[in-house]
Amino acid sequence: MSYCATCDGMLYRDKQVVVVGLAPDAAEEANFLQGLGCRVTYVSGKAPEGLDPAIAYVRATKLEIVGEASVTALRAGDEEIPCQCVFLLRHAIPPTDLLPALELENGYIRVDREMRTNLPGVFAAGDCTGLPLQLSKAAGEGLIAGQKAAEYLDGL
């Protein structure tokens, strides 16, 4: 199960994946996965615009992920689509909708080296803070943010 084609797509090259298109740019992400060499099936309640014609489309709204320890298929209505990953591409809300006073820089949350934002007690880490969008960056920043948040709370 993944929420990011850019982040995880390379892990599924030459494998069957399903994109559940719930966001306006989901077709673009499905095309990206196809370009990486994934075998893509696109599932949504309505036909997407801009989807590569080589990508299979299944119209369905009732969905169920199948598998115990890992994904083995997506049940879409009455059809079961075998796959190794389901990319659930859904709408996201901007961080400033949650915290209107939060400062952004080039579309990302502005943080200092200790992952502090401009709002006292609010820390951010990972993709929301800017490039590169990589797991190792997110893990390192998450460690720093967690430690600094704990220090902040200890000081209250």
Q: In whole angstroms, how large is the CA radius of gyration of the chain?
A: 19
> What's the residue count for the chain?
156
What average pLDDT does the segment 60-65 reach? 94
pLDDT for res 113: 96
- Residue 7 scores a pLDDT above 90: no
Encode pLDDT of 94-109 as tens digits.
888 899 999 999 989 9
Please report, as a single letter, which amino acid is at residue 14: D
User: Whole-angstrom Cα distance, residue 109 to residue 129?
Assistant: 5
SS3 151: helix
H helix runs in the chain, sequence order: 5-8, 26-36, 95-98, 135-154
Least confident range from 65-69, 84-88, 132-136: namely: 132-136
With a pLDDT cut of 70, the percent of the chain lying above it is 100
Encode pLDDT of 74-91 as tens digits.
999 999 999 999 999 887
**CB neighbourhood size of 67 (10 A):** 13
pLDDT for res 24: 86
Ramachandran class of 41: left when φ > 0, alpha when ψ lies in -120 to 50, beta otherwise: beta
Encode pLDDT of 45-58 as tens digits.
999 999 999 999 99
User: Whole-angstrom Cα distance, residue 28 to residue 48?
Assistant: 10
